[in-house]
Amino acid sequence: MTGTVNQVAWAMQIKASVTAEFDRVAKALESAASKQAEPDRMNTQAMIAILEEKRAEVMAKDQAGYFIHDWQELRDQVRQMIVQDFRYQAIKAARATRQQGRHVSN
């Protein structure tokens, strides 16, 4: 990781917290998927794949400043990364269309 010795040490602590947050979100999604029927389970598994891709992108960063600036205070960055992804938007739109179809047929 690049940065001063103090920045790198600080960033490594932050990175550990970020890893834990990605793990927490993954476990929540996996738990939800285990209770869902198709196609909701498939959608949740797709969201897990998006999450893991985002995790890989974040963890590949080697600048201490990135973690200090962007991840020092964990809010809902992980969730926001997923929600802003075009694939999640497609899943959400398809789900809304399915739900509309159910309401029309009832």
Residues 31-86 pLDDT 10s: 999 999 988 999 999 999 999 999 999 999 999 999 999 999 999 999 999 999 99
Burial profile 63-73: b = 16 or more Cβ within 10 angstroms, e = fewer? ebebbbeebee
Domain-by-domain residue ranges, the chain? Answer: 5-105
Model's pTM, two decimal places? 0.88
